[in-house]
Structure 1
Amino acid sequence: MQIDHGSRQPYYAQIVTGIEQDIAHGVLQSGEQLPSVREMARQHLLNPNTVSKAYKRLETQQIIETVPGKGTYVKVVDSTLFRQELREQFTQIVRLAGQRGVSIAELHGWLDQMGEK
């Protein structure tokens, strides 16, 4: 994760985005421990309050969790539950698309394009 000190995006938002991207790209794994607030602040030359704000935002989004006295970790996700929730959301999207005239074939095309990236 990199912090762009010249960016207009707030530092805490850059941390949130950076951690989300690191998880999405497999750089951070489920259950992996994150640096402490103070360590993260030291690594990126930031105020600890800024890192704390980012961690709190990620906790609210249920992306990370803090275990008192042990540290902060990438939240372990129950893959069965995740798949069920994802399927429900996908079903809603497909229904909405159909109501708006988007065909299943067109949705397939979009998925194929996304898979190529």
Structure 2
Amino acid sequence: MQIDHVSGQPYYAQLVEGVKQDVAHGILRVDDQLPSVREMAKQHLLNPNTVSKAYKQLETQQIIRTVPGKGTYVNAVTPTSVRSELQKKLQQIVSQAQQAGVSFTELHSWLDQMEGNPL
């Protein structure tokens, strides 16, 4: 996982996305232990508060869990949590499309096209 220190994206958001990508690509597996907040901060040259914010967001999304006195671990990704996350992302895309003047009908036609030609 890489943190881009010149990107406009907040560091905590990059960390959240990085952990999610590592889980999605099998780099991090169920029950793998993540570094402590301080260790993660040291590895990526971040403030511990930034890492803590990312970890809290990942816990809220049920990607990770913290066991007091033991550490932070990757949770099993359930189909329900994946669907929920996909729905949130789709809502963001629809909102961005509407702001850009793309109609719902046009988005629907894009999805129809993609159904026949997966990426």
2:4 alignment counterpart: 4
| 1:74 Cα offset (Å) | 0.6
Where do 5+ consecutive residues of structure 1 fail to align? 90-99
Matched residues, percent identical? 65
SS in 1 for 2:5: coil
Shift of 1:31: 1.0
- For 1:7 and 1:44, the matched residues in 2 are separated by 14
Q: TM-score, normalised by structure 1?
A: 0.70
Q: Displacement of 1:113 after TM fit?
A: 1.4
Equivalent residue for 2:49? Answer: 49
Secondary structure at 2:41 match in 1? helix
> TM-score normalized by structure 2?
0.69
Give the drift of 1:111. 7.1
Number of the residue aligned with 2:102? none
Letter in 1 for 2:115: W
Q: Write the distance in 1 (CA, Å) between the matches of 2:57 and 2:25.
A: 20
Per-residue deviation, 1:3: 0.4
The structure whose Rg is larger is 1
The one-letter code sitting in structure 2 at the alignment partner of 1:60 is T
Residue type of the alignment partner of 2:31: G
What is the root-mean-square deviation in Å for CA atoms of aligned residues?
2.5
In the alignment, the residues of structure 1 paired with residue 21 and residue 63 of structure 2 have an alpha-carbon distance, to the nearest angstrom, of 11
Shift of 1:110: 2.1
Distance in 2 of aligned mates of 1:70 and 1:111:
48
Change (3 A) 1:52 1:24: same
- Runs of 4 or more above 6 Å deviation: none
Letter in 2 for 1:4: D
* Structure 2 residue aligned with 1:26: 26
Partner amino acid, structure 2, of 1:66? T
Q: Tell me which residue corresponds to 1:110.
A: 115
Which stretches in structure 2 are left out of the alignment for 5+ residues?
87-104
Distance 1:48 1:111, change over 3 A: farther
The 1:26/1:112 distance shift into structure 2, 3 A limit, reads farther
